[in-house]
Amino acid sequence: MKRYYIALISLLLLVMQGMAMSLLPSKLVYSNLLMTPHWVLLFLLIVAIFFDRDKTYFAVWYGMAFGLLLDIVYTGILGVYMVTYALVIYVIHGINKTIHSNFIGASLLVILGIILSDTLLYVIYSFVQITSMPWSTYLILRLLPTVAANMIFFIILYPVVKDRVTQWSEVVNNA
C-alpha cells in the first residue's frame, strides 16, 4: 500500500513540474538562465536513500516509469528521461551504501544525482541535435542554475517527506 503512496506523490510532482513553469512569475523562470525542475527525480532520490534497502530497487523502477511519463507529457522524445533517471537513481542507490543517511549526506547525493542526470540529458539531446549549446555555456547557463533551483526545492521537500518515507520503509520491510 505504501508503495502506491510513493507513486501518487511522484505523479503529483510530475504534474506540478509543468504547471510551475507556466504559473511561476515569468521573469524568474524565463531569464537567460535555463532552470529545469527535476522534482520527480529529487523525490525518487529521497526514496532511493531512505526507503530502499540494499537489495530492493523500487526507486529505480519508479524512475523508469515516471521518466517515460515525463518524456510523453513534456518533451515528446521517448526514452531519454526514462533511461537517464533509472541509471542515475541506480548509481546513487549504489553509492548510498557507503554514506550515512543524514541531511548532509542526502544533499550531497542529491546534488550529485542532479548534476549526473542533467549532464546525461545534455549529452543525449546534443547527440540527437535538440540542442547545440557548447559545453561552457551549458555549464554556466543551465547546469548551475538547475542545481541551485532544485536544491531550494530539495530543502523544502526534505523535512516534509523524509520521516514519512523512512516510516513506510520500516512498515514495508518488516511486514
Partner 1 sequence: MPSLFRRKRLMAVLIGFIVLVALIGFSIRDRDTLTTPEKFFKDTVGWMQSIIHKPISLVDNSVDNIQNMFEVYEQNQVLKARLSEYKGVIKDNQRLKDDNTELRKTIGKTKSLSDYSPIQATVIARSSDRWFEQMTINRGEEHGVAKDMAVLTSEGMIGKIKSAGAFHSTVQLLSGFDRSNKISSWVVREDKNEAFGLIEGYDGESGRLLLKGIKLDEELKKGDTVISSGLGGVFPSDLRIGTVEEVVNDQFGLTKTAYVKPFADLFNVNHVIVVDRSMQTVDNEDQKEDGDS
* 30 binds partner 1, rule: CB under 8 A: yes
Are 75 and 121 within 8 A, CB to CB? no
What is the DSSP secondary structure assignment for residue 52, as one 8-state letter?
-
* 26 binds partner 1, rule: CB under 8 A: yes
3-state secondary structure of 100: coil
* 18 binds partner 1, rule: CB under 8 A: yes
3-state secondary structure of 20: helix
Are 168 and 5 within 8 A, CB to CB? yes
* 124 binds partner 1, rule: CB under 8 A: yes
Which position among 2, 11, 99, 116 is part of the footprint of partner 1 (CB under 8 A)? 11
Cell numbers for 40: 520527480
**Residue 88, burial from CB neighbour count under 10 angstroms (0-12, 13-18, 19+):** buried
CB of 68 to partner 1, least distance (A): 9
Q: Which stretch binds partner 1 (CB under 8 A): 26-34, 107-115, 153-161, 166-174?
A: 26-34
> 74 to 103, contacts with partner 1 by CB under 8 A?
74-80, 82-83, 86-87
Interface ranges with partner 1 (CB under 8 A): 11-12, 14-23, 26, 29-30, 34-37, 69-80, 82-83, 86-87, 121, 124-125, 128, 130-131, 142
